[in-house]
Amino acid sequence: MSEKMSYKDIPIGLAVTARGQNYTGSWSIFRPGVDHDKCTKCGLCVIYCPEAAIEMTDSGPSVDYNYCKGCGICGNECPTGAIAMERGEA
C-alpha cells in the first residue's frame, strides 16, 4: 500500500476487474492431471469446475493452474477416469 494512495483511486464497486489480479492456484495441494488418451472430450469437467478454471481446447481440457484450487470435482466426475489428482506440481 503506497503512502500516496487515496481512497479515491479505488474503482467504483471495488471489483477485481481483470484476470491475473487474483490468483488462487497456490491454495491447492492436489492438482488435476489429464490423460489425453483416455479423455473423450465430453466436457463434464468444464461444466463441473466451480472455479471455471478448465477450458476445452482442440487437444482436450486445459486446466488453468493459476485458478485451480485442487478441489478434485473434475476428477470425480470424469466418466473415463482421464483426470487423476496428483500431489504437487501437475
Partner 1 sequence: MGEFKIMDGNDAAAHGVMLSRPDVVAIFPITPNTTLINGVAELTASGKMKAKNVTVENEHAALSVVAGAAAAGARTFTASASQGVVHMEEVLWMIPGSRLPLVMAICNRSISNPGSLMCTHSDSLLQRDNGWLQLYCEDAQEVIDTTIQSYRIAEDKRVLLPIHFCLDGYVTSACAIPVNVPDQDKVDEFLPPYPHEHFYLDPTNTIRPEPGLPNYRGLETEQRYIIDEALIGAKEVIKEVNDEWGEMFGRKYGNGLIEEYRTEDAKGVLVTMGSMTGTARVVVDQMRDEGKPIGLVKLRTFRPFPTEEFKRIGAKVDAMGFVDRNFSHGAASGGGIGVVETSRALYHLDERPPLLGFIAGIGGRDVTYENFRYMAEKVLKAAETGKVEKEVEWIQLMEG
Q: Give residues in contact with partner 1 (CB under 8 A).
A: 1, 5-7, 10-19, 21-23, 52
**In this complex, which beta carbon is closest to partner 1, that of residue 16 or of residue 88?**
16
Q: Angle at the Cα of 24 (from 21 to 26), degrees rounded to 5? A: 120
Return the C-alpha cell found at 2: 503506497
Q: Is the dihedral of CA 7, 9, 10, 16 positive or negative?
A: negative
CB of 9 to partner 1, least distance (A): 9
Q: Retrieve residue 26's grid coordinates.
A: 497456490
Between 13 and 50, name the residue whose CB sits nearer to partner 1. 13
Closer CB to partner 1, residue 2 or residue 88? 2
